[in-house]
Amino acid sequence: MKLTLVDGLVILAYFAFNLGIGFYYRKRATKSVSDFFVSGRKVTWWLAGTSMVATTFAADTPLAVTGLVAKNGISGNWIWWSMAASGILTVFFYARLWRRAGVLTDAEFAEIRYSGTPARFLRGFRAFYLGLPINLIIMGWVNLAIVKILVLVLGVTKVQALAIAIGIMLITASISTLSGLWGVLVTDLFQFILKMGMVIVLAVFAVRSIGGMAGLISGIHAVEKSGTGTGSLLSFVPDLNSTWMPLITFFVYIAVNWWASWYPGAEPGGGGFIAQRIFCAKNEKHSVLATLWFNIAHYALRPWPWILVALAAVVKFQNDPAFMADPESGYIRILISDLPASLRGLMLAALAAAYMSAIGTELNWGASYLVNDLYRRFLVCGRSEKHYVAISQATTMLLMILSAVVTFFMTSIADAWKFMIAIGAGTGLVYLLRWFWWRINAWSEVSAMIAAFVTSLTVRYGFHLHESEPREFALIVLITVAVTTVVWLAVTFMTKPEPKDILLSFYRRVRPSAALWGPIAKEATDVERRKDGLFNLVDWLCGVLMIYAFLFGAGKILFGELGLGLAFLSAGFVFGGVIYADLSKRGWETVGQ
């Protein structure tokens, strides 16, 4: 694809604007480690929530969705659509608790919930595990996406594309280094508007190029007739007799995966960069609204432009061996073939925005673990804030270099997604219950993480099951969840509970529901007993139904089923109204304001 001088100027202007934001927020972000990593806890809900959306809208996302749709149809997206239940759980049960905890990272949580050597070990272990290997895998697949884009758009080799990606990442790392989370948040807002606008534009041109929606639908039907009979590509719910998503796999997605597996951006009970955005919110109200807005935008607003482009790619390139070998490339092939030349520079800037918003967060988030929870906590204590900010900046640059090495050995984004889900399977339940059950201790978490990692790798390599095969993926998850749950429950009852003073301190600080805090709640008579569990459960159920009603309503309207689509949307607004009425009636906490 040829780029003009105007395209180059548009791309340069985009990078210059982002660097300008970094310099603007430099002084505010470098006052302290708190300012650098959680923006001094002064962020509004709409900025924090939009940053969450922007981060999960990375350069890899439209490519991975294209691969899923090309292989499995629209319903292939249930691998991540199913996570909505977990996201909405965070909104109504955990966002307030995270904000009350007042920590800088979710790894720091270990030392306010647990005590002694096990708590210190858990904090250090989680910081290293999430900050290095897990974070590098995430950055690896984000880098891989931009590399695939550059290979196709510029006609360069993977090594050359990776070198260009490192240059873009250097700019991103510079912004993150200069301005910490403040710079990341504000650039995320600008980047989200740009990339969301351009993916909608690309979807319009892609559909128009094959005769509009009528041409797209007829083209998909033609593909289905010539295919292998795996069910309708346009169905929102999978054919459970198909080879790509049999009943057991769909069951794992909707009934197990969302609560049992740790996955970045959809951690059971919140965590990672989602928790980081909750920490930076002004107060509890802003933390709840931020996570609610994130989940609505993430699941209900963003998917359809990607899906339409993916379906157009299936119609146009069904007989192209290169597309069949790498379906994820279909998104970029549509960009090259259908987008007007006058918009190419802006589209490439949007894809760079998608890349930078994710990488910027991962660099800042990973550095927060390595500096706050390893270096500052265990290696070099008692130094000045300026010293730790400087170490944070250096760590950000180091992570950038290491992620480039990981990228070189990756081949598939979607497979990396599934691998991440598989090795995190089984840990979710302990993350959900640690807030609400006093008996859980540090060894519960440690044993869950180790058991999940060892079991999933044993099943994968010892029994030769692979997460890229749908039925085998389901078996990996089910086996790992079962073994991990048995292990951490056994360890919990075989080891002593946390000391009473630690439990009382945590209970008073976070004020969770008293239902499973029995002996602790009885002693903490100064803490008001909360009886909001049923209300939160109703809000959660309404939230999940609202998300799917909006998602399916928008899809039905796009595919010409106006009446059914409007019915879905109306139901979504009803569910949203129930949530609004309940939250307004119960009022908002303002702790931490």
Fold of 5-498: Sodium/glucose cotransporter (1.20.1730)
pLDDT of residue 305: 95
The pLDDT of residue 127 is above 50:
yes
pLDDT digits (tens, 9 = 90+) for 359-380: 877 887 888 889 989 998 888 8
pLDDT digits (tens, 9 = 90+) for 69-111: 988 889 889 988 999 999 999 999 999 999 999 888 888 899 9
Domain spans in the chain, listed from the N-terminal domain onward:
5-498
If one counts every other C-beta atom within 10 angstroms of the C-beta of residue 382, the result is 6
pLDDT at 357: 80
Average of per-residue pLDDT across 401-425: 71
pLDDT tier at 589, thresholds 50, 70, 90? low
Q: How many CB atoms lie within 10 A of CB 559?
A: 19
CA-closest candidate to residue 313, choices 153, 155, 203: 203
Average pLDDT over residues 200-220: 94
pLDDT band at 572 (very low <50, low <70, confident <90, very high): very high
Mean pLDDT of 294-323: 92
State the pLDDT at residue 442: 93
pLDDT for position 541: 96
Report pLDDT for 98: 93
Q: Is residue 322 very low, low, confident or very high in pLDDT (cuts 50, 70, 90)?
A: confident
The residues near 194 (Cβ < 8 Å, ≥ 6 apart) are 14, 346, 349, 350, 353
Q: In this model, does residue 201 exceed pLDDT 90?
A: yes
At 507, which amino acid appears? Y
- When pLDDT is cut at 50, 70 and 90, the band that residue 291 belongs to is very high
Mean pLDDT value of segment 15-33: 77
In the block, tokens 């389901």 appear at 474
**Whole-model pTM?**
0.87
**Cα 241 from Cα 248, distance rounded (Å):** 10
pLDDT on residue 593: 34
Residue 121 in contact with residue 443, Cβ under 8 Å?
no
On the question of pLDDT at 591 being above 50, the answer is no
What's the pLDDT band for 181 if we cut at 50, 70, 90? confident
